[in-house]
Amino acid sequence: MNHHVLTHFDAKGQAHMVDVGDKANTRRVAVARGRISMLPGTLALITSGSAKKGDVLGIARIAGIQGAKKTSDLIPLCHPIGLTRVAVEFDIQDSSVVCTATAEVNGQTGVEMEALTAVQVALLTIYDMCKAVDRGMVITDVKLLEKHGGKSGSFVAGRPTA
């Protein structure tokens, strides 16, 4: 695979959806992560479950899963895929909530965009639910941690790629 070609453009430079019809159905997994930093008091509201709108992380988890399922509606050239699993997890670190999302499919195209979308939507939901007390929250460090499956094989952040 030539990693120096933007596959979402044809020979004339026009955007198109990549043809995955000849690709093998394989198990594909992607893991993404991001963080939202906030004031310590905002984090205390989240962890105590006393935020005015209720269970912030529970709702953000469902939102992240929903975001993964809606990825092809949001990203114009993404294929709609039949996800077999989406998991959204949260860790508290310093004055931040770190979100990790895992997306899986048995299909012809990868799930990197679904994992990344799950993280973004979950973090945006936290922002939405807490903005009344902290409009200065910052979403950062959203990235693909790893992906496995398909013709291009595995990618793990921080490791050299072939």
pTM: 0.89
Buried b (16+ CB within 10 A) or exposed e, 73-102: eeeeebbebebeebbbebeeeeebbbbbbb
The mean pLDDT of 84-95, rounded to a whole number, is: 96
Q: Which helix (H) or strand (E) holds 74?
A: helix 71-74
- Dihedral over Cα of 10, 77, 110, 37: its sign: positive
53-78 residue pLDDT tens: 569 999 999 999 999 999 999 999 99
Helix (H, G, I), strand (E, B) or coil at 147: strand
Query: Which of 122, 142, 134, 152 lies closest to 39, judged by CA?
Result: 134
Residue tagged 């990790």 (tokens) = 100
Amino acid letter, residue 50: S
pLDDT of amino acid 4: 62
β-pairing, 138-148 vs 83-93, is unpaired
Q: Which helix (H) or strand (E) holds 126?
A: helix 112-130
The mean pLDDT of 70-93, rounded to a whole number, is: 95
Does residue 151 have a pLDDT over 90? Answer: no
Token couple for 157: 């952040």
pLDDT of amino acid 68: 98
Active site residues: 128
What is the spatial distance between Cα 45 and Cα 97, in angstroms, rounded to a whole number? 12
The mean pLDDT of 137-153, rounded to a whole number, is: 94
